[in-house]
Structure 1
Amino acid sequence: MRKLIAWNVMTLDGYFEGTGPWQLDMHGTVWGEELEEFSLAQGAEIGTLLFGRRTYEGMRDHWTKEEGPVATMMNSLDKAIASRTLDVADWANSRLLKGEAIDTVKALKQEDGKDVFVFGSADLLATLMAEGLVDEYRICLAPVVWGEGTPLFKPESGRAHFSLRESQPLKSGGMLLFYELKKV
């Protein structure tokens, strides 16, 4: 069975996005050569990228206009979108998952291949986490406090216990944290 791994950048006070959609300027506080190298290495582990509709549309709109190694990776990966409202997935190598997110993601995890990664998609992650489907969180902790925004972990995520598998400081002041779900 493939693992479901969540990847996000998060502020010290728990926000993955500002008060408006796609307000992600905390990414600039941690982005650099180290995080780019990490992104490319992590990309080699990805079998499928899983997105909710809003994240899919934002990622598609961003990465199809970018150039460079990370853009090439993002545009070439297999992508699955859990959405009740999207009719067409027109980004390269994209497919729509029809049906309830829980059921379709369980089936996605059963497919052969490398692991499934979720970037962003906090609403989808809350649903999946509540069902115990998230196996690992990889978080880049950005050294900023916003005081408001969209939290990465939502109340509907429920409780979960994780074990720290690895941590790695970045020259930017950020910290990469790798947590695995602890079965309790």
Structure 2
Amino acid sequence: MLIALNKPFHVLTQFTDRSEPARRTLAEFGLPAQVYPAGRLDYDSEGLLLLTDDGALAHRLTDPRHKQSKTYWVQVEGQPTQSQLAALREGVVLNDGPTRPAQARLLDAPPALWPRVPPVRYRKTVADAWLELIISEGRNRQVRRMTAAVGLPTLRLVRVAIGEVGLDDLKPGQWKQIATPI
């Protein structure tokens, strides 16, 4: 079984939380009991999360050797230059080593997304822009660290696809069972 979930902002990618006060978890979305996340999506990130009951499939989806692409729409602070986009495309050196080259492009307009709660703080004097980044690895907070490394701090991060599986029309908190893409 493979489930696509649109994980809302400020939800943990796990079913329990022992912190005080407890944070929101996947348990509140009525998912089938036997599934677990195939990979992670940060607490402060949103969008597509795949869950499965198949360990081999989870491995194929998450192991970097399979180079499964992950597509993100990233709202960044600042107006990206061609050299910043080129740096993302070539790969960025992070504290845990260089990243693989990414596909990076400036989006012409903000994508049609649901409102985030709470909203990203708007500042009249600071420009922002939206990028589409496609990476084929999944290090901890990788996209945020990549954009910061080129001088473009991330304001909002939404994963819209993993391989051939897209977020489609799922609203935050909604999920559906999908055909296995691999």
TM-score where L is the length of structure 1 = 0.26
**Higher helix proportion, which one?**
1
